[in-house]
Structure 1
């Protein structure tokens, strides 16, 4: 052979796919989409675009100007090219509005939202919000981490709005994972005051939640989640259960 120099563009698509699968897909999308037709086609492959985790762009060493440039490129150029492939989307709450408004995601069914402030919940989960109008029948998996408790309103009001909104507006919800800094984000006295029809959906089969104590755990099993087969709880406080002491366990069986 007269020339042993082989460039990346000379490699077959199958080999490039194998190589690129070892890379971070966000770095891949950011670096390759728009370079040329061959790399653009490979980068837009379903293998790299069905699970989009944009939380990786918010690193400690990312300056504000670089972050804005990266997000702008994703919103204006990259996401419009791959939006039909996106099935799972992970974002920091601070970028939520920009990402959701960037395009429609007709195949999105899993949504992961990190570092959500309680004050944002009412803006996301209401019948007029773009998220609910677009995805209320699509989202089957919802994961949220809540980074603070409350600022301006009584905690129980905020909690009520959170649970009512999630169960009321996401009609196809099957998997719910909620975590926060405070186990009081789930309160049994609040649950008892909420109607069966408003707050709970029979579709939820998997629930992972942080709660305050064992009594709260038992209250999750009062029959409203009739399709529940997996329950994972993180207890903040372990003590003698007042429900067990008062012989009320039969209410939850």
Structure 2
């Protein structure tokens, strides 16, 4: 790596930018941060620091991009605190999300992608005292959640929705994402119907089990909602819909 850095150091900034743009942002930060002031100036550009994605997709499931805890620890102890004001979006995997969020204060962070989330993970994260006491609950306006395909239960989506809307009070964009594309992360309401709501949500992308869930989403609980992107798993016949609801 030392020899490679010497070679790269002889190239003009414009060429270095072209090369670095073809590489993964985290790999660039890990490999070149601290080499010299010139490299630091280049890699601290918002192109490489504004959005950091720690998970990677493998066989329809998100896994940690770095298998070594040494690399993750270096990010948490040194790299993230150094560039914390430049970060606006973080994509995090369940195993490391808490460590990364605790590594620094992120005053300009407005978006989170949380992957392989299951109910217990969401509960621990969203009820964390540090998160509740920090500005993140006010800052985050965009949230993407990928449910762990191996641990999804009937109540998971509802309970995660409760946690999300209780914590992120200024949320405007919410997406529930299924990496496996197997429709296994679906919202299904039981009686009594859940009471979660949001006065700030503008855009919702979600998979639901039945048509009646669509009606409950549109019952006024999201008073500012203007864009609803729904994937419907089961469609009842018109007769059955009429029997359940007076439309």
The question of a shared fold, defined as TM-score above 0.5 by the shorter chain, is answered with yes
Structure 2 counterpart of 1:26: 26
Structure 1 counterpart of 2:114: 113
RMSD: 3.0
SS at match of 2:222: coil
Of 160, 163, 166, which residue of structure 1 is paired with 2:161? Answer: 163
Residues 95-118 of structure 1, C-alpha deviations (whole Å, 9 max, x = no match): 112111111111111000110121
User: Where does the alignment leave 5 or more consecutive residues of structure 1 unmatched?
Assistant: 1-5
TM-score by length of 2: 0.82
Q: Which has the larger radius of gyration?
A: 1
Separation in 2 of the partners of 1:7 and 1:210?
50
Structure 2 counterpart of 1:144: 145
Q: Which stretch shifts more, 15-24 or 234-243?
A: 234-243
Separation in 1 of the partners of 2:90 and 2:226?
25
Separation in 2 of the partners of 1:19 and 1:100?
29
Q: Is the helix fraction higher in 1 or 2? A: 1
Contact kept in structure 1, 2:188 and 2:213, CA below 8 Å: yes
Structure 2 counterpart of 1:132: 132
Separation in 2 of the partners of 1:248 and 1:210?
21
Residues 107-162 of structure 1, C-alpha deviations (whole Å, 9 max, x = no match): 11100011012111111122x43233221000001111111224xxxx54x55542
Q: Residues 200 and 75 from structure 1, CA distance in 2 versus in 1: closer, same or farther, beyond 3 angstroms?
A: same
How far did 1:185 drift?
4.9
Q: Which stretch shifts more, 220-229 or 83-92?
A: 220-229
Structure 1 counterpart of 2:213: 216
Contact kept in structure 1, 2:202 and 2:225, CA below 8 Å: yes
SS at match of 2:139: coil
Q: Residues 106 and 230 from structure 1, CA distance in 2 versus in 1: closer, same or farther, beyond 3 angstroms?
A: same
Separation in 2 of the partners of 1:81 and 1:241?
58
User: Where does the alignment leave 5 or more consecutive residues of structure 2 unmatched?
Assistant: 1-5
Structure 2 counterpart of 1:226: 223
Structure 2 counterpart of 1:87: 88
Pairing of 1:24-103 with structure 2 (within 5 A): 24-56=24-56, 66-103=67-104
Structure 2 counterpart of 1:172: 170
Structure 2 counterpart of 1:189: 190
How far did 1:54 drift?
0.9
How far did 1:91 drift?
1.0
Residues 51-97 of structure 1, C-alpha deviations (whole Å, 9 max, x = no match): 0001149899x999952122112111211111110000001101112
Structure 2 counterpart of 1:3: none
Q: Residues 206 and 190 from structure 1, CA distance in 2 versus in 1: closer, same or farther, beyond 3 angstroms?
A: farther
Contact kept in structure 2, 1:159 and 1:186, CA below 8 Å: yes
